[in-house]
Each structure stands twice: as structure tokens, then as C-alpha cells.
Amino acid sequence: MTYAKLKSAIKLLLIGDNELPSDNDQILAAIEMAYIQLASKATALKLLTTNNSSEVIRQGPGGTYVRMPELPELDTDELDIDRELCPALARIIASYVSREKGAIHNSEAQKILTSYESKVRVFLEEKESEGVFNDPEMYPETYASARVKGY
């Protein structure tokens, strides 16, 4: 999902409520806060790294780290998270802005994160049984290009 599509999705979620701020710095601040929340709760495959010199949010599986996603700069930039987590990101940001539906947006985001995390756990267990964690050169690329089945 691109940055422009994320903003459109958030605007759609907020119809009849507070509007998404037009100030890009405010939107990016909300994205940064939401990224921290998202990376703290879900094991986004795209964010797994063996490089602990990048900004690390927490420990990941098999000696990996969950890094902080990069903020978008242009409307055409792809978001630096797994595509399947973009609806949760939109919901988290909508929960920050919403006057009356913040709890609903947050609840929906948590459902998405919980569902995604359970699917990722199955995926990671499969990879562990295949010995991927024994080959540090292999698994960052495996995760970055992986798509979780059933999502």
C-alpha cells in the first residue's frame, strides 16, 4: 500500500467523524506512533533483520530483531510494513484522530494484529522446522519476501 492509499483509507474510516489532518508532519507523527505500536505487537516479516545497528523495537524469533519501519516521504512510497498489516495501521491512526469511534478502530486493529500474529507464528514454526534459523544468511530474505498464507 502506498502512502497516498493509506491516507485515503484513513479518510474513509473517518467519514462523519474528525478529519485526518492535512498537515503532513502531523500525519507522519501519527504513522510513527502507529508503527511503534504495530511493531511492538506483531512480528511483521518485512521488519525482521539480523542487523541490530538499525533502530530495533524488540527481539524477534531465532536471533532476529524487529526493526522500526521507515517513514514514507512521498505519496507514491510503499509503506515499510507487510501489506497484510496496512488495514491495522489505518485503524490505529483512525483511532488517534476519531472523536467517537476511537475504541472501535483500536479494537478492529487489535483483531487484525492478533489474527496476523497467529498466522506468522505458524509460518515461523514451519521455517524453524526447515532449519531456516540455522542459516542466518538465508532467513532475512526469506521473511522479507514471504506472504503469510490465509491472509
Going by C-alpha positions, the residue among 92, 3, 1, 107 that lies closest to residue 39 is 92
Residue 57's Cα: distance from chain center in Å?
A: 12
Asked if residue 47 lies in contact with residue 120, where contact means CB atoms within 8 angstroms, the answer is: no
Give 142's contacts (C-beta < 8 A, 6+ positions apart): 127, 132
Per residue in 1-31, pLDDT (tens digit) is 999 999 999 999 999 999 999 999 999 999 9
Helical (H) or strand (E) element with 3: helix 3-13
Per residue in 50-74, pLDDT (tens digit) is 887 779 999 988 888 999 999 999 9
Write down the pLDDT at residue 149: 46
* Relative orientation angle of helices 24-41 and 102-129, to the nearest 10 degrees: 50
